[in-house]
Structure 1
Amino acid sequence: MADVSGRRRSRGVSTTVGYILNLTVALLLVTSLLAAAGTFVGDQRERAIADGLQVSGTQLAGALESVDRLAATGDDARLVVSLPPSVAGRNYRIQVRERSLVLTTENPAVRVVVEFQTDADVATKTVSGGRVVVALDAGANRLEVFATDE
């Protein structure tokens, strides 16, 4: 549109376009910050779960090694271990292997391996977190881990 002097008037359009551009840039910045914060929180949750699994695994590995030492002295070899039923709000499973424990969660999928040393063989089994018993099966000369409500 031209005024009486012949100049074009476009100020109204440039103000609106500038406002929309500023709003778009602000929206992109906020969205980027929220996405980065969400990733950070997810990573922190996985680290917390891994740390909790490591602690539980270390406790159970220590119990296995203690029962193994007790069995070598001929004493009654049985120990109740109170592990947390969940870590960071997630249930977990413990797969007992010959020389290691594999602790896992789902959603997020976290896996921690804790190794231990025993003279006696260890029965392979999977148990959930919570109270477990580590005992020597004297007839088979092997350590067993099983869940308990004691």
Structure 2
Amino acid sequence: MSGDGSGQGTALAPDRRGVSTAVGYVLNLGLATVLITGLVFAAGTHVEQERETVIRSELVVVGEGIVADVGAADRLVQGGAEEVRIRRTIPERVAGAPYAVRVETTGGEDYLVLSTRDPSVEVRFELVVETPVSGVASGGGVVVEYVDTGDADADGDALEVRGG
């Protein structure tokens, strides 16, 4: 390379400084995109887990109230009451999700089960009662009812949990 400024006989070395800036910029954008995508995915998963926790907590509160009503109805029946009706207003939805209430018998034990479908959450409560119990309901209202048929041998006398 000559220093006379005429430009003749000079070979210019390739200049790669501009390329490295562009490549660095693209790499930074790619990395930022990956990080933001990861954060959005993690936040979405966290929100869904929190929603399930809130639903479970609300189902526990609703279930405890119904279990208390079933227990109170059983005590009244055991005390000789011929008719019992306990009505409870419950929310139609928990954390925006509809839910079902049912009584299940597993291994000779009665359970009150509250469940949602989306997301799938289930809460179970053991019912410690002497009177047989059955039933199905959904959010909005529940009635725990007993009617004595007067027949001492009747197997049909039971507490029923139903919508109301």
Normalised by the length of structure 1, the TM-score is 0.89
**How much is the aligned-residue C-alpha RMSD, in angstroms?**
1.6
**Structure 1 position 57, deviation (Å):** 1.2
Q: Distance in 2 between matches of 1:21 and 1:105?
A: 45
Q: Which residue of 1 aligns with 2:25?
A: 19
Local SS of the residue matching 1:92: strand
| 1:43-122 equivalence runs, <5 A | 43-75=49-81, 76-98=83-105, 99-122=110-133
Distance 1:56 1:38 in 2: 27
**In structure 2, what residue type is equivalent to 1:94?**
V
Q: How many residues align?
A: 145
Identity percentage of aligned residues: 38
Query: 4+ residue runs of structure 1 moved beyond 3 angstroms?
Result: 3-6
Gaps of 5+ in 2: 1-6, 150-155
Q: Give, in whole Å, the separation in 2 of the partners of 1:10 and 1:130.
A: 71
Answer yes or no: is the 8 Å Cα contact 2:112–2:124 preserved in 1: yes
The unaligned stretches of length 5 or more in structure 1 are none
Query: Which entry has the higher C-alpha Rg, 1 or 2?
Result: 2
Contact 2:136 2:163 in 1 (8 A): no
In the alignment, structure 1 residue 131 sits paired with structure 2 residue 141: yes
1:137 Cα deviation from its structure 2 partner: 2.5
Among candidates 38, 41, 45, match of residue 44 of structure 2: 38
SS in 1 for 2:124: strand
Superposition deviation, residue 101 in structure 1: 1.1
Higher helix share: 1
Contact residue 137 and residue 144 of structure 1 kept, 8 A: no
Contact (CA 8 Å) 2:142, 2:163: kept in 1 or not?
Answer: yes
Contact 2:101 2:137 (8 Å CA) reproduced: yes
**Contact 1:133–1:147 (CA under 8 A) maintained in structure 2:** yes
Distance, in Å, in 2 between the alignment partners of 1:57 and 1:11 is: 69
